[in-house]
Chain A
Amino acid sequence: MRRGNSRSPSGFDSRTDDRAALAEHSPLRGADPRTKLALSLCASLAVMLPLERLAVFMALYALLLLWARLLLEAARQVWRLKWVLILLFILDWVLVGLDLATIVTLRIVLLAGAFALFVRTTTPGEFRLALEWLRVPHRYAFSVSLAFQSVDLLNDEWRAIREAQRARGAWSFEWRGWRHLVSQVRELVALTVPAIVLTTKRAWALTEAAYSRGFDSPHRRPYRKLRLRRLDLVLLTAALVIGILLITWRGIWGLVA
């Protein structure tokens, strides 16, 4: 059985293991969030490269992830999509051809793994600073970072609801066949109503807490400022060089000849 840990509304129990934790050991923890955002965005733009350059880019990106000790994390993200990937690969192969099947699959793999680099090494606070640097108003940047950090809590709440409803017999995960489809969908109300109530309450509590600490103040002055370090300059330069090479490249055979 999977278990949540926020059964107590006050979250007294310690966190469980199966959640997204920060990769504290990664050397990228020390990098500027803007650098990491740029790297992840580059990776997602790289899906537009033709097949052989895409393969080269992915190899380089994998090396970066390996250095950052995030390769396993990224692989795990991709692994979750394994059925979709296999299905798509077969469909594309059968309907169009091997080339297309390969490139589509590689693109999805890259997209799925690209943001592991950012997500696993950036705190919501750093994310907020990066957004504010991008001229997103504090109000919105803060809300986005709040949402970013609330995913785990919502996940726990959802589990707690399922369990509590199962305990009172109001919901059971039992497929009783198509003939009961309507009643089974209706049963979902037992989950969705509490989920909406809890989420609304939490959002309201956070709103009140934020306002009672001056959230709407026009005089806000940030305590921390983002600063590019040497690591960031190295990473950004490397990304730039590789980007230029990949865009101007005429293919391995062209170089050899």
Chain B
Amino acid sequence: MSSIVRAHDVAYAYLQHGYGLPTVSLDVAAGEAVLIAGPSGSGKSTLARCLSGLIPHLYRGELSGDVWLDDLPTSTTPLWRLAERAGLVFQNPSAQMLTVTAEEEIVFGLENLGLSPSVVEERLEAALRRFALVRFRQRSPQTLSGGEQQKLALAAITARQPPVLILDEPLSMLDSTASMDLVAHLADLARSGTAVIVCEHRAQYLRTIPELRTVQLNGSTPTPLAPPADIAGSSSAAPHASPFTLTVSGLSVTLGGRPVLRDLSFSAQSGHVLAIVGRNGVGKTTLLRALTGLETHRGQITVDGERPDLGMVFQNPDLQLFNATVREEILYRLEDPNLERYAWLTAVLGLSRYDQTPPLLLSEGEKKRLALAVTLMRAPRHGVLLDEPALGQDARHKEILMRLAHTLANTGQLVVLTTHDLSLAAQADRLLILGQDGFVADGPPHDVLQHDAPWAEVGLRVPPWVVSA
């Protein structure tokens, strides 16, 4: 059988920092489903760009080796011709939306194929139906949920009927239900003859695709995990806080006239790691924002009668990083910083060797850990709130993250995190499921995961590997 994608000894180095993708060869046949697995920084996204031809056409780094798409060499074939053969779906669902209605989004790619209006219409209708997007036809893509946006991106690409489909971490921003939904579509596409290549950390979701072939990319030597003794930290680096209770009563938030949180009440003890899960858009972020005081709200949020002092780590680290070096970033505007704490945090978060590196040159995962270090360095009295800390992080980084969260909890702090990664949520001390009308379940993760009813109520599906773990 001839391969539709042939990559021979492909390697790539970015102009900015000189690394990207170590040498790899790959052949993919029509109808085959291939998972490109590997830790952060192993070059999964780079490979996706090499296979689709975006590298070398849009990037000016150093490419070696050869890639053929349908027997066309990618380096000398114009990009639009390559795009007819290989479609690429990206990680961030909202950042790949080019127009203001779902319909226009699909039409954009069809117009570029030079199809007659009647064929465009036919394919548009078929795509809307196939991905259950008919009712969103005239809606702005920016108002759709992450899962719907990602389906729209897939619809916009597959309507062009490329024989090869490449996806760059398509699941990382989706909740479990949306992820399973998307993977079912991918399995379907492979069955109907499309070569499907998926670069993804969350490999377990993809293993449900029959006859999935896995290609493992091995990155450069990863940062060694700090030994447990170092993680604990000395008493001066991570001082113990006295016990407290965070009490939330009657919390309500309205955003743009729409009630997001309604009369929410709960309390949390210091020394615990709380995980909050729920569908995309249910108000998890809003809850964290209200707890830090960023969101105007009704209701009481107190720690033993006073305002809580909680640090917040945002989903997107790019919002905060601006200094010239990692060290300056973490110590920015701190008078008389606790350098022992600084050494501890950078060691635990695997940032020690970047002391003098500009934050902008770090990988996405490293930036997220740096933003966490920035917040923790300010030593908020009662604890930290982490908004989707696992987003785009590989297994190792999640492990580092959870160990740090439990370490902080052990020093008497409160750690609250939101996530759609249920395997991560399962490692918390307490798991809460947030639905439209408040919490529908609350308890130790092991118990909460045993019950099907609350999950069904909020529309989340628990993947089998989370329950069995």
Contacts and interface: CB of A to CB of B under 8 A. Distances in A.
Contact of B322 (A193, A216, A221): A193
A220 B111 contact: yes
Interface stretch (A92-100, A104-112, A161-169): A161-169
A221 B157 CA distance: 17
A7 B385 CA distance: 15
A1 B333 CA distance: 25
A2 to B, nearest CB: 10
Contact of B92 (A10, A207, A217): A10
A223 B294 contact: no
A16 interface: yes
B109 interface: yes
Contact of A198 (B78, B149, B296, B318): B318
B70 interface: no
A211 B87 CA distance: 10
A11 B120 CA distance: 28
Interface stretch (B218-226, B250-258, B300-308, B409-417): B250-258
Interface in A1-26: 1, 3, 5-18
A170 interface: yes
A17 B95 contact: no
B131 interface: no
A160 B319 CA distance: 7
Interface string B308-341: 0001101110111110000000001100000000
A221 to B, nearest CB: 5
B280 A12 contact: yes
A153 interface: yes
Contacts of A189: 322
Most buried by B among A170, A193, A197, A214: A214
Given A14-B281, A213-B109, A214-B83, A125 B100 contact: yes
B146 A214 contact: no
Q: For the side of the interface on A, what is the size category?
A: 35 or more
Contacts of B145: 12
Contacts of B286: 13
Contacts of A201: 95, 318
A134 B259 CA distance: 45
B216 interface: no
Nearest to B175: A12
Pairs of residues from A and B, 6 with the lowest C-beta to C-beta distance, nearest first? A219-B114, A16-B256, A214-B112, A213-B109, A193-B322, A217-B80
Interface of B: 49, 52, 54, 57-58, 78-80, 83-84, 87-88, 90, 92-101, 104, 107-117, 120-121, 140, 142-143, 145-146, 149, 153, 156-157, 160, 173, 255-258, 260, 280-281, 285-286, 289, 292, 294-296, 311-312, 314-316, 318-322, 332-333, 360, 374-375, 378, 388
Interface of A: 1, 3, 5-18, 123-125, 146, 149, 153, 160-161, 163-165, 167-170, 189-190, 192-194, 197-198, 201-202, 205-224
Given A10-B173, A11-B149, A208-B90, 11 more contacts: A9-B173, A9-B315, A11-B94, A12-B281, A168-B378, A198-B318, A205-B95, A206-B96, A209-B95, A217-B112, A223-B117
